[in-house]
Amino acid sequence: MLLTKGTRLHAYEILSLLGSGGMGEVYRAKDTRLDRDVAIKVISEEMVGNEAAILRLEREAKVLAALSHPNILTIHDISTDQSMLYVVTELLVGQSLRERLTHRKLRWQEAVQIAIAISEGLDAAHSKGIIHRDLKPENVFLTHDGLIKILDFGLARVQFQQSESGESWMDTSPALSQPGIVLGTLRSMPPEQLHGKPVDGRADIFSLGCILYEMASGQLPFKGSDVAEITAAVLRDRPADIDGIPAVLQEIIFQCLEKEPSRRFPSAKDLNAALHSLLTADTGSVTPPRRSAKSRSRVRALAVMPIVNASGDADDEYLMDGITETIINSLSQLPKLRVTARSTVFRYKNMQIDPQAIGRALNAGAIMTGRGVKRDDRLDIQAELVNTEDGSQIWGQHFSSNLSDIFALQEEIAKQISESLQKKLTGSEKKLLTKRYTENLDAYQAYLKGRYHWNKRTPEGFEKAIRYFEEAIDQDPIYALAYSGIADSYNLLGWDSYSTADPKQTGPKAIAAATKSLEIDPLLAEAHNSLAWALWAYKHDWNAAEQEYREAIRLNPGYSLAYVWYADLLAGAGRLDEALKQIEKSEKLDPLGPITYSVHGLILYFIREYDAARKECQHALELQPDFHPARTILARISQMQGDFETAIQEYKSILSASMSGSNPKTQASLAHVYAVMGKTQEVNEIINELISAAQQTYMPIHIDIGFTYAALGQKDLAFEWLEKAYEKGAGWLVWIFPDPLADPLRSDPRFEDLMRRIGPSR
């Protein structure tokens, strides 16, 4: 009996059917107690009648539930309700190894990494006396966040099915076992299992050998057109040798596939150790297919994909993200190589990587992918460089080091990538590639955590970032990058779009931190960029800020944020054509960054090209639906085009977003729309509420209230509020000159006086 949406099994509410098979149905469900989505397998009535099978299922479910290993499907619960037996597991999203293998064979390094994860899961299960007995590619799942999961320890019986969204979800397979039927799938059964003999953990090692053979060769180890031929091949034949893999790997595979269990690896732990040794050993005798030197030297653009955190520990996420960002920053300083910005490549985080598709999307000739595992004080990273024209490997390497040697590891990865792309570096460029900003590991880890939170671009994220950056400085008082991070955090905390922090407080702190950073390292592009923003937004020193932006770009031509912020300055100065040129440079480096398209839309809004501006902002929101700076510009565009209802809807959408809180600036902007519409009652209600709230704390409302009174024809009040904005140091003042909302005030001498004091260079 199929369960319908809304059916309750104790605390679990059925959401949808994922699939069905011989053992029953699998559903997506909501765990109402813990507010999480889970998978529920409802065991078929036929299986419920098989008492022996149910007893085994319950026994193994209890053992596996207590196991809690990152490479084994997590079992949350097993229970009965309405005479139905069901098992509750974690819900996985990704694809089975079988699905992966239908598209291509794997590079041997990737195959070994997957086999290592499987062997670790098997070792954990074998230690509890559980043998899988049916290990095959269909029962290995690759999640979107890079984890490897073993399914179906005589329990889950899952295969995978493509959903309408293109994602693979768990779905039940045909029945596991019936009386008289040998457990397992024929092609990967060890000989002793085919003979119906008792099996131990070495049976799973044979099956893992079959999987590893297929991953490395793209072929099945034992072939045949029917049961008799396949059985004979397993019992009698030695699989064909595999070309293009290290000899040591071939020896490991064939030891797994020995007919006699005693000649295989004694345990999954021993196999795991052999695989690890293979990755850390010198395997230079076998070279994967490479592109010609001429082809590699033509690669002008590179995308460094987020290194996958394969440890399964969320606490290590910041580390893998930080290593990725460090490699990006190192390579982006090379003038002969365009490196895609962090904000674009991180759009692909937790996604299945298709090198050729990504190459087309980002206009990149090569991409780097990687998987990292941190175990205690050890760090392992498998990295490879792929040519996006044909998917061939340019370079691949396994790196293993103590965590304390992370600086040398990052430098070596960047160096080998550069060499693999046939980039001839000058002495100064080599120094840039291997430049260390700190030698203190604790300081570096704190800095990475700070950047991790800064990149969330929320007030809470900036506050956490500052704490981590300060922690980094406590560990290393001359850590220039950490001071630059503090400056960037205060820069955006005091900016109207992001926070309600008082710019009179944040501005001096930003300038002090950026200045200190440059005292330590005058050649740090990030610090020049940080100081430029602070001088522009807080001091209105346009000339000095422009010099700092130009210096940042000179020092690091691949620093996309410098182009964005420089475009902000040029736009505020009314140099709109120049601003467009800078933002277009940023788009080449950061083609999926919402901030880039949002600023592009802002510039076009200033130019009064409203339809084109709308397209840019909509693009930004497609990339990040909650990016409210783009929605703010959309609201202004709608207002200027006379579509007041849409403008109101856009502002209310921002206000309803939980991340925005009350958002007083947006409330003041909404009042301006009502003023243009002549709805004075609504205007007065909003303004009175904001003025009352602003008695207690700073609120970035002064400019928008000034525009509101201008729309009502009350110019004296309008300039009174703009003067308050000037006194308070409101950030958006630097954009008043080109803003169409200021048009009712331009003919008044007081506007020119204000512009003179704000000081844009025109």
φ and ψ of 398, to 5 deg: -100, 130
- Give the CA distances from residue 238 to residues 40, 220, 231, 258, 542, in Å, rounded to whole numbers and listed in that order: 41, 12, 13, 9, 75
Cα distance between residue 712 and residue 677, in whole Å = 9
- Count the neighbouring beta carbons within 10 Å of the beta carbon of residue 552: 25
Q: Which of 347, 319, 480 is nearest to 410 (CA)?
A: 319
> End-to-end alpha-carbon separation of the chain, Å?
75
Give average pLDDT by consecutive 10-residue segment, the chain, 762 residues: 88 87 80 90 70 71 74 86 84 86 81 93 88 90 84 48 37 32 64 88 95 93 85 90 88 93 92 83 44 56 90 82 92 87 88 84 91 84 86 80 89 88 75 84 93 88 95 96 97 82 94 98 96 96 97 92 97 96 94 92 97 95 89 96 95 75 85 95 95 88 96 96 94 93 95 90 50
Which residues on neighbouring strands pair with residue 17, listed in sequence order? 27
Cα distance between residue 721 and residue 709, in whole Å = 9
Please name the amino acid found at residue 548.
E
φ and ψ of 28, to 5 deg: -85, 135
Cα 728 from chain centroid (whole Å):
37
The helix (run of H) or strand (run of E) holding residue 223 is: none
What's the confidence (pLDDT) of residue 383? 86
Both structure tokens of 636: 């202004």
**Dihedral angle of Cα 277, 280, 283, 284, to the nearest 10 degrees:** -170
Q: Which of 201, 331, 193 is nearest to 269 (CA)?
A: 201
CA-based R_g, the chain, Å:
30
- Count the neighbouring beta carbons within 10 Å of the beta carbon of residue 166: 7
- Give the CA distances from residue 175 to residues 43, 157, 181, 361, 509, in Å, rounded to whole numbers and listed in that order: 10, 7, 11, 43, 66
Q: Which of 381, 250, 310 is nearest to 121 (CA)?
A: 310
Please name the amino acid found at residue 354.
D
Both structure tokens of 204: 């799973």
Both structure tokens of 674: 């009502």
The DSSP code sequence of 101-119 is: HHH-PPPHHHHHHHHHHHH
The DSSP code sequence of 587-600 is: HHH-TT-HHHHHHH
φ and ψ of 89, to 5 deg: -130, 170
Both structure tokens of 158: 């899952």
Please name the amino acid found at residue 558.
G
Q: Which of 357, 349, 345 is nearest to 302 (CA)?
A: 345
Cα distance between residue 209 and residue 476, in whole Å = 49
Cα distance between residue 522 and residue 548, in whole Å = 11
Sign of CA dihedral 426, 432, 433, 436: positive
Burial (CB count within 10 angstroms: exposed 0-12, middle 13-18, buried 19+), residue 427: exposed
Which residues on neighbouring strands pair with residue 532, listed in sequence order? none
CB contact at 8 A, 156 and 87: yes
Strands 84-90 and 158-162 come out as unpaired
Cα distance between residue 480 and residue 32, in whole Å = 48
The DSSP code sequence of 517-586 is: HHHH-TT-HHHHHHHHHHHHHTT--HHHHHHHHHHHHHH-TT-HHHHHHHHHHHHHTT-HHHHHHHHHHH
Confirm whether pTM is higher than 0.75.
no
Q: Which of 384, 431, 426, 435 is nearest to 407 (CA)?
A: 435
The helix (run of H) or strand (run of E) holding residue 140 is: strand 140-143
Cα distance between residue 692 and residue 685, in whole Å = 11
Which residues on neighbouring strands pair with residue 41, listed in sequence order? 26, 87
Q: Which of 489, 513, 511, 512 is nearest to 501 (CA)?
A: 489
Place of tokens 């994922």: 18
Q: Which of 60, 49, 59, 52 is nearest to 83 (CA)?
A: 49
**Dihedral angle of Cα 342, 529, 583, 460, to the nearest 10 degrees:** 60
Q: Which of 663, 624, 666 is nearest to 648 (CA)?
A: 666
Say which of 123, 134, 152, 380 is annotated catalytic. 134
What's the confidence (pLDDT) of residue 23? 65
Question: Which of 328-361 are b and which e, b meaning 16 or more Cβ less than 10 Å from the residue's Cβ?
Answer: bbbbbbbeebbbbbbbbbbbbbeebeebeebbeb
The helix (run of H) or strand (run of E) holding residue 90 is: strand 84-90
Catalytic, 134? Answer yes
Question: Secondary structure of 152-173 in the HEC alphabet?
Answer: CCCCCCEEEEECCCCCEEEEEC
